[in-house]
């Protein structure tokens, strides 16, 4: 097992080829909702998205190699702006070695402390036990099952809908109650 340090940093457009390589593995893209035959060009376009829109795409790097990728994608509709969708993938050879944990910690810290995200949502195939265990460890709860949700290798497969609510939602940063508006 490789125990070198894992660094997590924001993805850049010139990482597109590494991400395409990661997403070319059926063990990886098959467990996501990605398609076969992805290209570096399509990832380059996605990575060029305006960071001001709040999308965060991070990479896990170990010994100079990209070994994982994860993203948090805020919802655009006004009344859903406290919500974001999460996606994560780790290279097959690096799975089970803490890379997913490092990526999840980064995304949860970003959501909780900086991005005003109160609810993180995801779907996960019901037989993806490693991913489900990882999400539960970060406070995600199962909210239901979508049946025959997506075609995976020729079979319609079920997914769990999971979500994590902010464990300690931000409060106003001054003493309460407000002296100008006493409650009694």
Ligand X SMILES: CC(C)(COP(=O)(O)OP(=O)(O)OC[C@H]1O[C@@H](n2cnc3c(N)ncnc32)[C@H](O)[C@@H]1OP(=O)(O)O)[C@@H](O)C(=O)NCCC(=O)NCCS
Binding site for ligand X (CB under 6 A): 27-28, 31-32, 88-90, 95-101, 124, 128-131, 133-134, 137
| Least distance CB 121 / ligand X (angstroms) | 11
Torsion angles phi and psi, residue 50, rounded to 5? -60, 115
| Least distance CB 30 / ligand X (angstroms) | 8
Q: Which is nearer to ligand X, 51 or 145 (CB)?
A: 145
Q: Which is nearer to ligand X, 80 or 129 (CB)?
A: 129
Which distant-in-sequence residues (6+ apart) come within 8 Å of 42 by Cβ?
20
DSSP 34-73: --SS--HHHHHHHHTS-GGG--EEEEEEETTEEEEEEEEE
| Least distance CB 24 / ligand X (angstroms) | 13
How far apart CA 173 and CA 143 sit, in angstroms, is 32
Q: Which is nearer to ligand X, 9 or 51 (CB)?
A: 9
Q: Residue 151, CB half-sphere, CA atoms under 13 Å: how many?
A: 4
DSSP reduced 3-state for 143: strand
| Least distance CB 43 / ligand X (angstroms) | 16
Q: Which is nearer to ligand X, 133 or 148 (CB)?
A: 133
Residue number with the shortest CB distance to ligand X? 100
Q: Which is nearer to ligand X, 81 or 152 (CB)?
A: 152
How far apart CA 61 and CA 68 sit, in angstroms, is 7
Asked whether the beta carbons of 69 and 37 are under 8 A apart, the reply is no
| Least distance CB 150 / ligand X (angstroms) | 11
């Amino acid at each position: 097992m490789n125990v070198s340090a894992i660094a997590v940093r924001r993805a850049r457009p010139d990482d597109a080829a590494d991400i395409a390589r990661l997403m070319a593995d059926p063990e990886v893209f098959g467990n996501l909702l990605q398609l076969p035959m992805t290209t570096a060009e399509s990832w380059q376009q996605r990575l060029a998205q305006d960071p001001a829109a709040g999308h965060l795409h991070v990479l896990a790097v170990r010994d100079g190699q990209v070994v994982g990728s994860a993203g948090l994608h805020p919802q655009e509709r006004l009344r859903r702006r406290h919500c974001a969708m999460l996606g994560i993938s780790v290279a097959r050879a690096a799975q089970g070695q803490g890379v997913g944990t490092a990526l999840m910690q980064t995304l949860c810290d970003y959501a909780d402390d900086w991005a005003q995200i109160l609810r993180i949502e995801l779907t996960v195939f019901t037989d993806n036990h490693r991913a489900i265990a990882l999400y539960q460890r970060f406070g995600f709860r199962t909210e239901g099952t979508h049946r025959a949700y997506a075609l995976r290798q020729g079979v319609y497969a079920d997914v769990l809908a999971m979500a994590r609510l902010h464990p300690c939602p931000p409060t106003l940063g001054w003493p309460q109650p407000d002296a100008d508006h006493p409650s009694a």
